[in-house]
Amino acid sequence: MSQTAIDLETKKVYSLEQLCELHEEETLMQKFSGRRFGCVQCLMEADFDRTGVARPIEAILAELDVDQIPAEKSFRRSTIYHRNDEQIFSPSCFTHLPGKAKNAKCASSESRHHQFCAELAAGKRNLIMKVDPPNLIATTMPRYKKDPGFREPDVAFLIAESPTIANTIQKLILRGEHRTLDFDGYEGHIAVEVQLSHLSLQEYKDRTADHRKRFKHVLWIFHEHFLQNVNAIRANQAETGEDTWVIVEDGGGRFHIERRPYKKRGPRKQKKRVDFCGKALRRRVRRLVRSDAEAEQLAQWAEKMMKEGFSLDSLLNDRYYPNAESL
């Protein structure tokens, strides 16, 4: 994960390690949320391709104007998510905006959650809306005031009163100057929550209720690999007639979303368990074959069949045993 970034106003290089020693993460979020930065690694690689010399970033920046530095990174706060029932902490970092990395050698790695949100707000929003409504404004990680505190949908789609207002607000958002939504001159259209980690049913209901006070529609999107984290929520959606939308990975960083109906599992039929000892089984089958390899092969087959409910005596007879290898 990238620990450095270039301020696009002053050309100052920020070190995240130094910043975290001086400020709390929440302070950094307030300062940097929504702002865009330049990438130190990408700029140095591009300069090497051009000059053939590995130069320090200070020398490179001294020759560039601010508008020559690509705005391709943002500040991402730390997150905790679950993978295969394991809780994983992902620290804060400067991360590339999706599709903005100029060089494959870049040291930064993209948060999948951040990538999902950014792509759903931009190039993949057709997965949410077939056609953009007039005067649409799209933003990621905004917030709005509630009583008390704030709510922060992952993606917000807004409808402005006029094209002029839409263009003005969108420009402010791109500059990181309009993170807090005031709904002055525009209204909430769709609030999107991309949920990868565990969430209680009550928190889901609370967030949804708050979003519906400001937005016409609320869309929750889960991930196919983490559905076990939100089973209670999916059951609730099924009861209320809501669709469950799920991110499906297509490989190579590509994904799509689809409806995934919730199916309540009934009690599973318990198979009758056969009492056997693996060691004793191998001693018994060894007497029936010529080699240890044949005995092991036959024992593995017999174990598999016994787990399906067959008895050992029924397997080791002339009907089954001669064909055990093929079965």
Helix (H) or strand (E) holding 140: strand 136-140
Nearest to 37 by CA among 121, 94, 120, 111: 94
Q: What is the mean pLDDT of residues 55-73?
A: 86
Are the C-beta atoms of 155 and 124 separated by less than 8 Å?
no
Per-residue pLDDT tens digits for 266-294 = 555 655 555 667 777 788 788 888 888 88
Largest CA distance in the chain: 88
User: pLDDT at residue 119 above 60?
Assistant: yes
Under the banding of pLDDT at 50, 70 and 90, the label for residue 2 is: low
Question: Can you say how many angstroms the Cα of residue 23 is from the centroid of all Cα atoms in its chain?
Answer: 27
User: pLDDT at residue 84 above 90?
Assistant: no
Question: 188 φ, ψ to 5°?
Answer: -75, 130
User: pLDDT at residue 82 above 60?
Assistant: no
User: pLDDT at residue 106 above 60?
Assistant: no
Under the banding of pLDDT at 50, 70 and 90, the label for residue 107 is: very low
Q: Domain coordinates of the chain in residue numbers?
A: 4-110, 117-259, 278-323
Q: What pLDDT shows up at residue 188?
A: 95
Q: What is the mean pLDDT of residues 194-207?
A: 89
Residue of 57 and 323 predicted with greater confidence: 57
Q: pTM (2 decimals)?
A: 0.52
Residue of 299 and 79 predicted with greater confidence: 299
E strands, 224-273, where? 245-251, 254-259
E strands, the chain, where? 4-7, 13-15, 37-38, 73-76, 79-83, 86-90, 93-96, 136-140, 143-145, 150-151, 155-160, 180-181, 186-195, 215-223, 245-251, 254-259
Q: What pLDDT shows up at residue 207?
A: 93
Per-residue pLDDT tens digits for 233-248 = 999 999 988 888 999 8
With a pLDDT cut of 90, the percent of the chain lying above it is 21
Pairing of strands 245-251, 254-259: antiparallel
User: pLDDT at residue 176 above 70?
Assistant: yes
User: pLDDT at residue 310 above 60?
Assistant: yes
Nearest to 136 by CA among 167, 97, 115: 167
Mean pLDDT of the chain: 80
User: pLDDT at residue 86 above 70?
Assistant: no
